[in-house]
Structure 1
Amino acid sequence: MNSANFATALRARQHLIGYWSLLDSPIAAERLARLGYDYLAFDAQHGLFGYEGMLNNLMATDTKGSTAVGLVRVGANDPAAIGRALDAGATGVIVPLIDNARDAADAVAAVRYPPLGKRSYGPMRSQLRIGPDPADAHEQTVVLAMIETAEGLADVERICATPGLDGVYIGPSDLRLAIGGSTTQDPTVSDAFEAAVTRIREAAAEAGIAAGIHNADGASAAKRLAEGFTFATVACDIVHLQQVATAHLTAARDGQIREPGV
């Protein structure tokens, strides 16, 4: 899937499935990009990426046989960070901590060139695959606003109505804390959390934009897509590496042949 096709599918609210990456490993990204995912999301907020790492992982995602485009969760709603991710070749940005419609409008402006926005022109790498004409970049790049704060939830309908916004993305860990959870898995706020998730999904549907959510595993992603979400991310490489390695270690130890009496 190329950037234009991905952007078209996202805006049409088609089902898309992605994978979340925290590790700065272009070799891993190259392999993940060939598995059939529609996108890989590289986390420049909490992940282990510097600029060079982000660039190299985006380049690895573009190799022959890839089914995925590269998205970047930027570190902040900052024009420089957003522009740098897009110049490196990201098909879109996921912008964290969007509290209100003004924040969403600022994120959109940082993604679009004038007169639609304020992005500075200098697509040194991205011009090889997106653009280089501003009109092409506008068509082929997407901006997603994260809803993960109490303020963002309270203003979600206005956020979703922001002109030029392509979608919203739920950060479940922060959202659960924002509605009063004592931990990111606190079961005592599960009903309130699910109500918040439903409100966000329905606000996006009403505005006609995409709605996505972060998930711990594929089964959870399938459940959210069945509920009406239009894209879902499976997370993430560093956690899954630990889980699989632990499972194999446990299997190996449990299968050891022990001498009698040992």
Structure 2
Amino acid sequence: MTGFAAALRERRPLIGTWLVTDNPIGAESLAGLGFDFLLVDGQHGLVDERSWLTMLTHIAARGAGAGLVRVPGNDAATIGRALDLGAEAVVVPMVDSAAEAERAVRACRYVPVGERSYGPMRPVPRAAGTPAEANARVGCVVMVETAEALADIEAICAVEGLDGVLVGPFDLSLALGGAGFGDPAIADRLDDALATVAAAAAAAGIAGGVHCPDADTAAKRLAAGFTFATVSCDLMLLEEAGAAALRGARA
């Protein structure tokens, strides 16, 4: 089996970025740079469900990195919709327990192993074939963002059919008592929490991922045991490149 889901399950190192702006041409450009995946943010980004198809189509047009969608919540209808539109995997936010992770997995898989309703609208290439083949090609990742999820992390990672966990360090920092991401008062606690998640994922044989604000942090986290990372987002990358160009011109 080839494709993003297979790479995730084999715990290959994967690097992606978030797409938070409704900019299909920008998504297409980023898709040509060599990212392993691009994650369309349907929760906090400016991309609504009507634009998921356009974004995913432009990503697929480059034939390189995979197109993923972070859905707004752990809702079977929305998860199925993202997959029908061509997402190679979904990322489900704010999953607090193994039971909630099981619900997400079932929403990603067709009967009899899940409860996804059959009706893919993009038959080539990701949804082609039998429902069983489609099940094998679809990835399911849940986010670890709360104290409850951290406390249940071993059980979450052991959920059958779950392909990976992704730490949201901003919300997790708040859950650990920090004033926000980067708060030095909880830096050690956050590092310990990240180590716990990476170890639990490794023990369960699934992918362990983390969002990182920059490349240096991503390299550090991957070296520390995570198998995939998201680095920054399209809007921040645009602002950073623009600011650098402006500084250089003025100098």
TM > 0.5: yes
Root mean square deviation of aligned Cα: 1.2
Query: 1:159 maps to which residue?
Result: 156
| CA contact 2:84–2:127 (8 Å) conserved in 1 | no
Write out per-residue CA displacement over residues 58-78 of structure 1, whole angstroms, 9 at most, x where no aligned residue. 0001114x3201011110011
Q: Alpha-carbon deviation of 1:135? A: 1.1
| Mean CA deviation greater in 73-82 or 3-12 | 3-12
Match of 1:146 among 143, 150, 170: 143
> TM-score with structure 2 length normalisation?
0.96
CA contact (8 A) 2:101 2:156 kept: yes
Residue 112 of structure 2 corresponds to: 115
Provide the rounded CA distance (Å) in 2 between the counterparts of 1:15 and 1:244. 26
Question: Are 1:97 and 2:94 matched, yes or no?
Answer: yes
Q: CA–CA distance in 2 between the matches of 1:34 and 1:248?
A: 21
Q: For 2:209, what is the secondary structure of its paired residue?
A: strand
What is the aligned partner in structure 2 of residue 203 from structure 1? 200
**Number of the residue aligned with 1:129:** 125
TM-score in terms of structure 1 length? 0.92
Letter in 1 for 2:233: C
Which deviates the most, 82-91 or 16-25? 16-25
* Total equivalences in the alignment: 250
User: Pick from 199, 215, 220: which aligns with 1:218?
Assistant: 215
Looking at CA atoms only, which structure, 1 or 2, has the larger radius of gyration? Answer: 1
8 Å CA contact retained: 1:130, 1:136: no
Do 1:15 and 1:230's aligned partners in 2 also have CA atoms closer than 8 Å? yes
- Alpha carbons 1:21, 1:235 under 8 Å: kept: no
SS of aligned partner of 1:17:
strand
Within the alignment, does 1:23 sit opposite 2:28 as a pair?
Answer: no
In structure 2, the gaps of 5 or more residues are none
> Which residue type is aligned with residue 32 of structure 1?
L
Identity of aligned residues (%): 50
- Structure 2 equivalent of residue 260 of structure 1: none
State the alpha-carbon separation in 1 of the partners of residues 19 and 214 from structure 2: 13
8 A contact 1:74–1:95 mirrored in 2: yes
| Structure 1 residue aligned with 2:32 | 34
Q: CA deviation at 1:235?
A: 1.4
Aligned residue in 2 for 1:228: 225
Instruction: Give the superposition deviation at 1:185.
Output: 1.9
Residue matched to 2:77:
80
**Secondary structure, in 3 states, of the residue corresponding to 2:52?**
helix
Contact 2:59-2:67 within 8 A present in 1 as well:
yes
What is the aligned partner in structure 2 of residue 57 from structure 1?
55
> Does the alignment pair 1:5 with 2:3?
yes
What letter is aligned with 1:197? L
Describe how 1:228-247 pairs up with structure 2 within 5 A.
228-247=225-244
1:252 maps to which residue? 249
Cα deviation, residue 5, structure 1: 2.3
Alignment check: 8 A CA contact 2:11 2:207 kept: yes
Alpha-carbon distance, 1:240 to partner: 1.6
The equivalent residue for 2:171 is 174
Deviation at 1:241?
1.3
Unaligned regions of 5+ residues in structure 1, if any? 256-262
SS of 2:61's equivalent?
coil
Per-residue Cα deviation, 1:16-59 (whole angstroms, up to 9, x for no partner): 11111101111011111111111001100000111221110100
Q: Aligned to 1:113, what secondary structure does the other structure show?
A: coil
